[in-house]
Amino acid sequence: MHTNRRDLLKKLGLGVIGLSLPALKLKALPSFSETLISPQDQRLPVVLRSNENPYGPSPAARKAIADNLAASNRYHWDVTAQLLADLAEKHQVQPDNILLGAGCTEILDLVAKHVALQQGSYVIADPSYDYWTTTLDHLGSTKIKVPLNNDRKIDLAAMRKAIRPDTKLVYICNPNNPTSTCCDHEELLHFVEEVSKETLVLIDEAYLEFTKEKSLVELVGKTANIIVAKTFSKIYGLAGARVGYALAEKGMIEQLSKLQSLPNNNVSILSKLAAMASLKDDGFVAECYQLNERVRQYSMLELKKLGCRCIPSQTNFIYFSLANFKKDYFRTLQENNIQGTRIYEEQGAWTRITVGTQTEMQRFIAALQ
């Protein structure tokens, strides 16, 4: 008997999430508000290094995972189709404008392989999120690094001038990681419209939901040479679940798909269900946004009191200078079981810290004091 996609999803529990799991004794999941007021275990490390959402997945996503563990023995292709449909509706595009990946990292890696096959150069701001570019470097592409401007923002005019005849890609991380700064929307829109006439432009919007900025998804379908990369890892709290996706013109999606052994299906059934549930939990996203705003403001104010210059942040992390900090910063973190990152710019000793919960940031500030 034929089972349509909607009926299957009802059985799987998205919409009525809930396969019976009598063999497992799952603990009741805490509500989001209960999670927020749980005391911080002083023995546990404070993890402020990878810009994760400290509040975890939404209650809806947790329930989707817990209720459907028994579905892990099947591939469930129809769930993939439904997630694509949900994302298409959210971004006002078609399902064939979307490609799923195991986190945004896989999407960036697919773009890197696609570009490296053409042989040439690529342009990237410095510093910016560049871990994924090792694939490009190893496959023979030439990296052209463009310094940020004095406000630690991506210098679009300088990026434009850096493009060479052999440039195959321009990468813009907006908001930029590690600086948390955003490009002016109209300037970026004009930049992409012009540059995409010459070469491929990749816009990484991993942190855009922490801002009030508009996405460049509006260009998908209008401009062939643009890819917008997005993720469920950040504000949706699904970093470990690994769900990312690309939005692009159908032909570009088809080219990227050829570099995946099983297009759209490197993401597990549980991760897909969690992503679908997360898309429906607007209240969780709004609360995470407000909490991040409040705790970020507190953290920046306290860092400034300690003599640390902070770049105005629009995300869930802060870029600040240790030039006037009197202690050994990294030893202080280690001694207090706090996980930070590194120095991104030697001149000015610029580093980055994730905005955790209020309790976590109070521990962080107390350690620095």
Q: 167-216 pLDDT, tens per residue?
A: 999 999 999 999 999 999 999 999 999 999 999 999 999 999 999 999 99
Is pLDDT at 323 greater than 50 in this prediction? yes
As a whole number, mean pLDDT of residues 250-260 equals 96
Tokens 């009525």, residue located: 16
Question: Of 280, 305, 330, which one is at a domain's C-terminal end?
Answer: 280
Q: What is the pLDDT of residues 126-177, one digit of tens each?
A: 999 999 999 999 999 999 999 999 999 999 999 999 999 999 999 999 999 9
Given pLDDT bands bounded at 50, 70 and 90, which one contains residue 42? Answer: low
Structurally, how many domains does the chain consist of? 2
CA distance 345 to 350: 5
CA distance 331 to 229: 36
Structure tokens at 119: 């042989």
Helix ranges, 198-261 (H): 250-257
DSSP for residue 57: S
SS3 assignment, position 85: helix
Lowest mean pLDDT: which of 42-51, 102-111, 295-304, 316-325? Answer: 42-51
pLDDT of res. 40 = 55
Looking at the structure, do residues 209 and 229 belong to the same domain, yes or no? yes
Given pLDDT bands bounded at 50, 70 and 90, which one contains residue 44? Answer: confident
CB 345 within 8 A of CB 323: no
Q: What are phi and psi of 70, to 5 degrees?
A: -70, -15
Tell me whether residue 169 is in a domain: yes
Is pLDDT at 53 greater than 70 in this prediction? yes
As a whole number, mean pLDDT of residues 222-242 equals 96
Residue 355's domain comprises 283-368
As a whole number, mean pLDDT of residues 33-56 equals 75
Is pLDDT at 86 greater than 70 in this prediction? yes
Looking at the structure, do residues 293 and 258 belong to the same domain, yes or no? no
Q: What is the pLDDT of residues 93-115, one digit of tens each?
A: 999 999 999 999 999 999 999 99
Question: Of 232, 263, 280, which one is at a domain's C-terminal end?
Answer: 280
The residue type of 152 is R
Given pLDDT bands bounded at 50, 70 and 90, which one contains residue 369? Answer: very high
Question: Of 250, 280, 310, which one is at a domain's C-terminal end?
Answer: 280
Looking at the structure, do residues 296 and 206 belong to the same domain, yes or no? no
